[in-house]
Amino acid sequence: MEEILEQMEKEELEKEKLSESISNYNQNVNYLPGFVKGLLGNEKLHIYITHLDGTKSEYASITENGVIVEGNTWLDQDSNGIHDIWQKQGIKPTMALYIDEKAIVEIINAEDPFAAFKQAWGSGIRYEGLTFASKVKKFFLDIGVKIAGLF
């Protein structure tokens, strides 16, 4: 019984943390460079986060015009690569986003956040297109980041 209560407390804390993160992101989305909003515009995201303490979390998020309109802890009990709630709704992820929390902290604290983002792109922050359209987005974004890196 004690283990069940501990698990419930852990899940509740995770939900609170996710809700706070979504709120913070949505409140600050207009400060992001335009291409980031374009990249995350209207997607079904499977998000992998490596936290500062080394722990890892997975989330499911749906964005509209760059704003997160739905977010949940990723559940995939049958291990088929589709979030269980989405599977019931016929939704498949369009993009996988990999984020190292350390990179985000460095970007937030950087004197030049865009330069910090360019440095983190491909290592601390990266994504994988899971549909043809998101693969095309990634291709052009990668070119754009490389070009921006020349300046």
Which residue blocks in the chain are alpha helix, DSSP H? 2-28, 34-39, 84-89, 101-109, 113-120, 132-149
Tokens representing 139 are 């291709």
Helix axes 132-149, 113-120, angle to 10 degrees: 120
pLDDT tens by residue, 85-119: 787 888 888 999 899 989 988 888 888 887 888 88
pLDDT tens by residue, 33-91: 677 777 778 899 888 889 889 988 888 889 998 888 988 877 777 777 777 778 788 88
Instruction: Please tell me the pTM assigned to this model.
Output: 0.77
Helix (H) or strand (E) holding 48, with range, is strand 44-50
Domains of the chain as residue ranges with CATH? 2-149 (3.30.1050)
Amino acid (1-letter code) at residue 11: E
